[in-house]
Amino acid sequence: MKDLKGKTVWMTGGGGDLATSAAKLFLQEGACVVLTVSSEEKIPLTRERYPEAADCLEVVKGDVRILEEMEAAAKRTVERFGSLDILVTCAGAIRHAPIDEMSMKDWQDIVDINLTGTFCACKAAVPFMKRQGGGRIVNVSSIAGRTGRPGNGVNYAASKAGVDGLTKLLAAQLAPFHINVNGVAPGPMKGSMFQRMTPEQQAASGKNVPLGRIGELEEVAWAIRYLVSEEAAWITGAILDVNGGMYM
């Protein structure tokens, strides 16, 4: 694949495991990256992860649920680096519970972050991409959006199903403007939640995966990288499963 020199990437959920893995990959390939994090306190902590990238990295505070804050982050991206070529919506939250134990707050918070947050980021980025004649959007979804996978809450499943629907319809709407919109739907990954498990829990977590193991963050990051590449220029409206064959 061609490198990303001269490209600018804006990522929501910039303090998370997957965003960190993908951002490091983008920076290695010559892109400039703007990361949106949810609080001011996370800005210095996030910067510390990229000691060699000061000239091509910006970290800004922005609540994905608030359109005005996403618009400010998109504007800052263009002001700092001159363009907004790629958007990756990594911001997400999980709060699983059976429906009879789930509060309205549990429902609303997850839908607001996962679905409304994706909408707000896309809405903020699209005007800039239209003006510059094109762009790439990758929305991070989940296998939970299309399966009855045990252990997932209906709030999370519904929010991720919504992300898939948003992605597909937005792809059709934006195709005339040369903006490709795709999704990545990961299965279980070796993020911070996995690292907090006991060795026994870690071993058990891969047993239901047909390929026999939990996914690496880098494997999902490379899927995102492919979808923003020139080689994927004729792909839009797709949801790429990266899950080791785990469809339930």
Structure-block tokens of residue 15: 């303090």
Domain for residue 232, yes or no? yes
Query: In this predicted structure, what is the pLDDT of residue 248?
Result: 63
pTM: 0.95
Residue 201 has pLDDT above 80, yes or no: no
Burial class (CB in 10 A: 0-12, 13-18, 19+), 5: exposed
Domain for residue 202, yes or no? no
**Which position has the token pair 């902590």?**
45
Taking CA atoms, 106 is separated from 42, 111, 166, 248, in Å, by: 23, 9, 22, 23
Domain for residue 248, yes or no? no
Domain for residue 103, yes or no? yes
What end-to-end distance do the CA atoms of the chain give, in Å? 32
Distance between CA atoms of residues 170 and 182, nearest Å:
9
Report helix angle 67-81 to 117-132, nearest 10: 40
Total domains in the fold of the chain: 1
The rounded mean pLDDT for the chain is 93
Chain segment 144-178, per-residue pLDDT in tens: 898 877 778 999 999 999 999 999 999 999 999 99
Residue-wise burial string across 96-120, b where 16 or more C-beta atoms lie within 10 A, e elsewhere: beeeeebeeebbebbbbbbbbbbbb
Q: What positions carry a catalytic annotation?
A: 156
Domain for residue 203, yes or no? no
- Dihedral sign of CA atoms 14, 12, 66, 242 in order: negative
CATH number of the domain bearing residue 73? 3.40.50.720
Domain for residue 65, yes or no? yes
Domain for residue 64, yes or no? yes
**Which position has the token pair 């600018």?**
8
Q: What mean pLDDT do residues 61-83 have?
A: 98
Angle at 18 between CA 238 and CA 101, to 5 degrees: 85
Choose between 216 and 196: higher pLDDT.
Answer: 216
Domain for residue 2, yes or no? no
Distance between CA atoms of residues 224 and 200, nearest Å:
31
Q: How confident is the model at residue 197 (pLDDT cuts 50, 70, 90)?
A: low
Instruction: Name the least confident of 28-32, 107-111, 149-153.
Output: 149-153
Could you tell me the residue range of the domain that residue 226 belongs to? Answer: 8-195+209-242
Q: Which of 139, 171, 174 lies closest to 237 in space, CA to CA?
A: 171
Q: Which amino acid is at 220?
A: V
Q: Which helix (H) or strand (E) holds 188?
A: none
